Structures are given as C-alpha cells and as structure tokens.
Amino acid sequence: MNKFENIYMVCPPNTETGGPEACHQLIGEMSKLGIKANLIYYKKKKTLNNLRGRLDQSIREDTIITPNTRAPVPKAYECYEAPFTDTIVDSANNLLILPENLLHLIHIGKNIKKGIWWLSVDNALLAISRLGSIPMLRSKVMHFYQSDYARQFLELLSLENSFPLSDYISEKISSYKDESVPRDKFVVYNPKKGIEYTKKVIQSFPELQFVPLIDMTKDQVYQTLNKASLYIDFGDHPGKDRIPREAALLGCCVITSRNGSAKNLKDVFIPEEFKFEKKEDNLKVIGESMISCIENFPDQTIKFNDYRAEICREKNIFIDEIKSAFTN
C-alpha cells in the first residue's frame, strides 16, 4: 500500500545535471512501482547560486496551478519516462518533495505534506542561510538523503524522520563500454570541480596530457572516458557525484580529493590510496599515483572493480529505498 495518494517532485525544466537526472529517475521508478507521482517543473532565475527558482502559482480551491513549461523534459532523460503535471492537489494525503536548494518553497500549500531530498550538502548550506530558520524543517517534514555525507549532515542539524534515497547510473552507459578501444595515456578532469587545486596538479606535471570535460555532449564525455586512463576530481563532492562513477564504469582509474562525500567509503568506494587531501605537500605523491595509473593501467584499473560492482547494484538499491520510504 502506498503511503500517499499523490507525490510531486519539484524539478527545473530543460536541465541536464545530476540533480534533475535523479529527479527523473525517482519519478520514473515510482511510476513503474505503481506509485502515483509526477514532476512539477518550476521557473528559474539564473543567479550565482541558482537559489531563486520560483513556483508561480494560482490557487483554485484545494488545487495549486503551476506554470505550463513547453517541452520541459530534456531529451537525455526521456528514457526514464517520468510523468509531469502542472497541478498540485493540496491534500494531507499528498506529498510535495523539494530539492535541498529550494527550501524557501517549504511554505507552499496549507495541507500537503512536505519532503526534502538532500542531493547536495553545499547547496543546502546556501539554501538554509536564505531560509533563515531550521525549526520549520523539523516539523512533520520527511527528509531523504542521497549520500551518507548528507545523512551525517542531517544528523548534525538534528533533522529526524529521514530515509536513504540515492540514485543510479543509467544502464545506457554500458553501450559506450568498448574493451577493444585502446587506453590512451591521458588524464581527464572536470574544470567545474576543484579547478584551483587541479590547476596546481596540471602545472606540476607538464609531461602528462590533461583533457578537460568541457564543451562536450554526453556522448562525447562517455567516448572520452572510454579512452582515458584516469579521471581526477579534486572538487568538494557535495553529494555522491556522477562523473567519478561513470568514469569508473567506463574503465578509468579514479583519483579524488578527501572533501565531502569522497571522505567516506560508503559514497566513494575506491581504495584509500587514490584519495588525497588538497595540500601542496601532496602534489608529488599525487603525480606518482597518476603516472602509475597511466603506465601500469592493467594492474591499477582492477583495483576499482569493487567500486564498479557497487555502482552496478545502485539501481536495485534505489528501487528498494523507494519501496521502504513510500510504501507500507
């Protein structure tokens, strides 16, 4: 039996990033399980922190009418078959889930129950500062955490009534895996993640080739990862990020910082020897590790097989989490 008559997940339209993909995965899997659930797309204002999303609305009795957005589903996410609607029934039997960066929408509706999906701790800190108050997040609000890092954050804030709700890497990535493609001796990085320290790494090892994942389609990203020997990520890891997982599945070795979710093995299940504090003193040993991954690739890449196996289990775990959180 389902806990709610209707579930609504607030999501930005036409946006291809980790959070929106998780939202489409959630509603798609809910629908397949017979849970009545829909995405609600909101209007966006592009600001530095993207915290001024607004849900324009009008009220008709117990129904909240939200704006119609033309073709809001990114083509890349059509495969999840996530239904969407522009009406929210304001009933105590329904649940409205907000991503952690839209906490200021917690006041929408008089009767509908609220949930928050904590996909990013960093976005949460900014949103909480804008909200200005923690107590309202403790009153009958359900909390869902995408990472163990987020779970620890909820504990720190004494936010109870929490449930694990992760995500998964789409099976379509397997079509890009081609063992016959030889590994090239280059390192891939995302210039949006920890670029200041990454620049120091690049400058310290001019003999290595570094390829940024920039101005690429998703297809091109996957094709690049399928050829690379190593993916490095010295970002803040505000949640369980997708690209390290995608890189590993496509055969890359992976080196990360020890920031955020990368600090623990539950979220980033790679050997400790491939995780580094972002310190000047570590540049030399990071370089040695990178060179080893490139020059001894066959021996090094097998060290990530447990991580790959864990990633392959994510979808089944995600489905079990949905059943546990939203059905009786």
Is residue 327 in a domain? no
Residues 137 and 177 in one domain: no
> Is the CB of residue 237 less than 8 Å from the CB of residue 259?
yes
Is residue 322 in a domain? no
230-233 and 141-145 beta bridge pairing: unpaired
CATH number, domain at 257? 3.40.50.2000
Percentage of the chain lying above the pLDDT 70 cut = 92
For 187-234, write each residue's pLDDT tens digit.
999 999 999 999 999 999 999 999 999 999 888 999 999 999 999 999
Given this model, what pLDDT does residue 61 score? 57
Report the domain count for the chain: 2
Given this model, what pLDDT does residue 67 score? 63
Is residue 321 in a domain? no
Given this model, what pLDDT does residue 132 score? 72
Is residue 320 in a domain? no
State if pTM tops 0.85. yes
Q: Looking at residue 253, what DSSP letter applies?
A: E
Which region holds residue 211: left if phi is over 0, alpha if psi is between -120 and 50, else beta? beta
Given this model, what pLDDT does residue 49 score? 41
Residue with the bigger pLDDT between 77 and 43: it is 77
Range scoring the smallest mean pLDDT among 17-31, 72-86, 310-324:
72-86
Residues 131 and 251 in one domain: no
For the segment 41-55, the average pLDDT, to the nearest whole number, is: 55
Given this model, what pLDDT does residue 51 score? 42
Residue at 46: amino acid letter: K
Which domain, by its residues, includes 25? 6-167
Tell me how many degrees the CA angle 304-305-311 measures, rounded to the nearest 5: 95
Residues 40 and 152 in one domain: yes
Residue with the bigger pLDDT between 104 and 155: it is 155
> Is the CB of residue 20 less than 8 Å from the CB of residue 12?
yes
Residues 111 and 197 in one domain: no
Residues 158 and 52 in one domain: yes
Given this model, what pLDDT does residue 104 score? 83
For the segment 287-303, the average pLDDT, to the nearest whole number, is: 97
Listed in order, strand segments (DSSP E) in the chain are 6-11, 37-41, 58-60, 63-65, 87-89, 94-99, 113-118, 141-145, 162-164, 186-189, 209-212, 230-233, 253-257, 275-276
For 112-132, write each residue's pLDDT tens digit.
999 999 999 988 887 887 777
250: pLDDT strictly greater than 70: yes
Residues 84 and 176 in one domain: no
Instruction: Give the separation between CA 113 and CA 97, rounded to whole angstroms.
Output: 9
Token pair of 80 as six digits: 């999840």
278: pLDDT strictly greater than 70: yes
48: pLDDT strictly greater than 50: no
Instruction: Give the separation between CA 102 and CA 120, rounded to whole angstroms.
Output: 12
58: pLDDT strictly greater than 80: no
Tell me which residue of 35, 42, 36, 31 sits closest to 64, measured CA to CA: 42
For 81-107, write each residue's pLDDT tens digit.
999 998 889 999 999 999 998 888 888
Instruction: Give the separation between CA 112 and CA 133, rounded to whole angstroms.
Output: 20
Which residue is it, tokens 């021996």?
A: 299
Residues 16 and 157 in one domain: yes
Residues 33 and 160 in one domain: yes
Is residue 297 in a domain? yes
Instruction: Calculate the average pLDDT of the chain.
Output: 90
Residue at 142: amino acid letter: M
Residues 95 and 110 in one domain: yes
Give Cα separations from 3 to 34, 209, 215, 258 (angstroms): 12, 53, 43, 38
pLDDT category at 19 given cuts 50, 70, 90 is very high
